[in-house]
Amino acid sequence: MKKMLITINAIVPGLLLPASTGLFLIFTLLAISLSACTNSPPSYDLRILWTNDTHGYLSPLYHREEGDDRFVERALREGRVGGFAYIASVINRQRAEMPDRTLLLDSGDTWHGTVVPVRLAGSPVVEVMNAMGYDAMTPGNVEFFYDQATLEKLFAAAQFPILAANFYDNDFNERVNLPNLQPYVIKRLGQLKIAIVGMTYHWMSKVSSHPQWSFGLHIDDVQADIDRLRTREKVDLVILLSHMGWKADARYAGLVNGIDVIVGAHTHDTLYRPTLVYNNTSQRDVLVVQSGSHGKMLGQLDLKISDKRITVFEQTLHPIRIKDITPDPEITALIEKFRAPYKHELERVVGETKTLLYRQGTWQSTADNLVSDALRARTKQNIAIVQPGRYGATILPGPITVEDVYNLVPMELPVYLMKFSGSSLRHLFEGAIEAVVAKDALMAIGANMWRYSGLEMAINLSKSYPDRIERLQINGKPVDNNQFYSLAEFNIFLRNNPEAVEVIKTDSIGPHEVLAYIEEQKLVSPVLDKRLTNQHGHIMSDHEHLHEINEESGRDEFDLETASIYKYHGRLNEAGRIKVSRGGL
């Protein structure tokens, strides 16, 4: 009897096999194929690339994270990080993998923070972002350091929508109506409709001088927006582009229903492991992501979406180490064009530091000790207080340039002299401490303690406001509640405080005074000192819960010395929850 033969053209053209053998081979190869499909990475529907808190750093920098006691050796080995020309190269590479399914977003604190963008009213950063092809941005609090006219020009110049659903006009209690400003935008990528809702810093009224505008949480209004997007527009995904901060974003994710992803900023947290918040009403996990600050990381979130919810995600954080990346030539040329008129001035060496100068410290930092000491010495006041911003490059031991100083204090604002009573000083500093340690993330205004010189303070964090200050001295003597003390500032706006008296605007400019001080001293060596201690006399510097923060953010799970990228992924399980794991799919 003649055996049946089967042709396996799909496997090897023209190959004839006995039927039994052929069928066995087909089923074997089919099983292998199905297994490979099951174990292979999913084909993602959407890629989100994002930046946050770049603070005007068009060029690379050194940047120490809080608590990094080995930074100098790491910096000498790894070199500078960030810089928009280097970020652009990584964006181009990652966007090319999914050219029709990629969004490029920015969550604020972007246009202000270094001297060239500040002198040119933010326009260099907007022009660079236009060239890089951003799709949307929400403004951060430092954007509002510019006046209204400047902001309106920047908004209009951006070739991408500026999103802020909580940006209101005080006179009319309506959303601010400015060109290119909107509460949300809908983007179509293939078959998907993606809604992006913006939330700027909710405490903006406390940290900027724009009394004509108000901000806040506006939970009801934002909920109405998202309900409309879900029901009427039938969007497949809702992204909240937020500048409220990590913990505030996590709270908001539980209060407002229908959000899928929060791309965050403001607190400069690198969330190596995305935070998951379960919203009970919408019965879905909300992904909260943030990629540090100063352009050190490019964030990437790949999503598979089914039935209008995330079923699979993979987060990748790309370190921007300039020794490993070829800069984008177009963005390089743009940045060099903006820097050229100031290059000679900024590269001039004004002195030298024996110690590492950094700003990143919750309670005090070496760079801010230098700035406040310089201001007090130059103005000959009892006290100097400076703004405790999180932004600013790190200066390695060695030469200090003009640009180094402007990277610490970029705003060329006049110095103000004034007086406060001892009682007022105590009240002000109790408030500053409370802002740092506030338990409710939505109510927290500050993050770092005010930076000052001339005072010695011991505080007890186990006590409550307003009784945490246990010792307050000037020149070794207790502060007298009824005596008035002279004070200098230029960037913390204490001059507007109603308790300030004898306020005088001087002709001196803040960073110029710091430069003059360094040139006089020639060699500086600021350190952490006992201007701020706990009740036991121990110097306070880093956050007292830094270890817990590193654990919660996933930082402790990665070897920062060797990792070239940082990956986390998650899948929707049968219970409707996203289960996360370290590594890629």
Estimate the share of the chain in helix, then strand, then coil, as percent rounded to the nearest 5.
Answer: 30, 30, 40
Contacts of 79 (CB under 8 A, 6+ apart): 321, 322, 323
Please give the pLDDT value at position 206: 78
Local structure of 174: helix, strand or coil:
strand
Q: How confident is the model at residue 429 (pLDDT cuts 50, 70, 90)?
A: very high
Average pLDDT of 79-87? Answer: 98
Q: Please give the pLDDT value at position 3.
A: 38
| CA–CA dist 72, 522 (Å, integer) | 22
According to DSSP, residue 463 is labeled S
- In this structure, is residue 59 part of a structural domain? yes
Do 564 and 533 fall within a single domain? no
pLDDT at 370 > cutoff 90: yes
pLDDT over 50 (residue 78):
yes
Residues 63 and 356: their CA atoms lie apart, in Å, by 11
Q: Where are the alpha helices (DSSP H) in 452-576?
A: 510-521, 546-553
What pLDDT was estimated at residue 585? 83
* Whether 25 and 51 share a structural domain: no
Indicate whether 154 and 100 sit together in one domain.
Answer: yes
The 8-class DSSP code of residue 2 comes to P
Nearest to 509 by CA among 397, 378, 414, 406: 414
5 band by pLDDT with thresholds 50, 70 and 90: very low
Position 443 scores a pLDDT of 82
For residue 551, what are the CA distances in angstroms to 175, 247, 252, 554? 39, 14, 22, 5
Same domain assignment for residues 245 and 189: yes
Q: Tell me, what CATH number does 89's domain have?
A: 3.60.21.10
Average pLDDT rounded to a whole number, residues 73-81: 95
Region 463-470: what's the mean pLDDT? 97
Residue range 105-125, pLDDT digits in tens? 999 999 999 999 999 999 999
pLDDT in tens, 509-530: 999 999 999 999 999 999 999 9
Establish if 342 belongs to a structural domain. no
Decide if 339 is inside a domain: no
In 387-535, at which residue ranges do the beta strands (DSSP E only) sit?
Answer: 398-401, 414-421, 451-453, 455-459, 469-474, 477-478, 484-489, 501-509, 523-524, 532-534
Residues 77 and 151 in one domain: yes
CA 43/CA 400 separation, integer angstroms? 50
Collapsing DSSP to helix, strand or coil, 142 comes out as helix
Is residue 338 a part of any domain in this protein? no
Same structural domain, 57 and 102: yes
Q: Is the pLDDT of residue 316 over 50?
A: yes
Tokens 């005596």 appear where? 483
**Short-list 315, 257, 403, 255, CA closest to 46:** 315
Instruction: Categorize the per-residue pLDDT at 41 as very low, low, confident or very high, splitting at 50, 70 and 90.
Output: low
The total domain count for the chain is: 3
Instruction: Give a yes or no: residue 566 inside a domain.
Output: yes
Give residue 65's pLDDT band: very low, low, confident or very high (50, 70, 90): very high
Q: Which of 558, 427, 396 is nearest to 498 (CA)?
A: 427
Share of the chain above pLDDT 90, in %: 87
Number of residues that make up the chain: 585
Lowest mean pLDDT of 167-176, 327-336, 392-401, name the range.
167-176
Q: Are residues 288 and 360 in the same domain?
A: no
pLDDT tens per residue across span 433-462 = 999 998 888 888 778 999 999 999 999 999
Q: Is the pLDDT of residue 34 over 70?
A: no
Contact 194, 235 (CB under 8 A): yes
Dig out the tokens for 48 from the structure. 């989100």
CB-count burial class (<10 Å; 0-12, 13-18, 19+) for 53 = buried
The CA distance from 558 to 301, in Å, is 18
Residue 119 lies in a domain: yes
Q: Model pTM greater than 0.75? A: yes
Looking at the chain, the whole-number percentage of residues with pLDDT higher than 70 is 93
Query: Are residues 147 and 187 both part of a single domain?
Result: yes
256: Cβ contacts below 8 Å, ≥ 6 apart: 219, 222, 223, 226, 240, 279
pLDDT at 171 over 60: yes
Angstrom CA distances, 438 to 244, 269, 446, 547, stand at 15, 18, 9, 18
Same domain? 475 vs 569: no
**325 with 398, same domain?**
no
432 and 374 assigned to the same domain: yes
pLDDT of 28: 45
Interatomic CA distance for residues 485 and 450, integer angstroms: 17
Are 352 and 475 contained in the same domain? yes
In this prediction, residues 71-95 reach a mean pLDDT of 97
Name the residue range of residue 9's domain.
5-39
- Distance, in Å, from the CA atom of 553 to the CA atom of 434, rounded to the nearest integer, reads 24
pLDDT at 390: 86
Residue 102 lies in a domain: yes
Q: State the average pLDDT over residues 146-151.
A: 96
Instruction: For strands 349-353 and 469-474, give the pairing.
Output: unpaired
357 bridge partner residues: 395
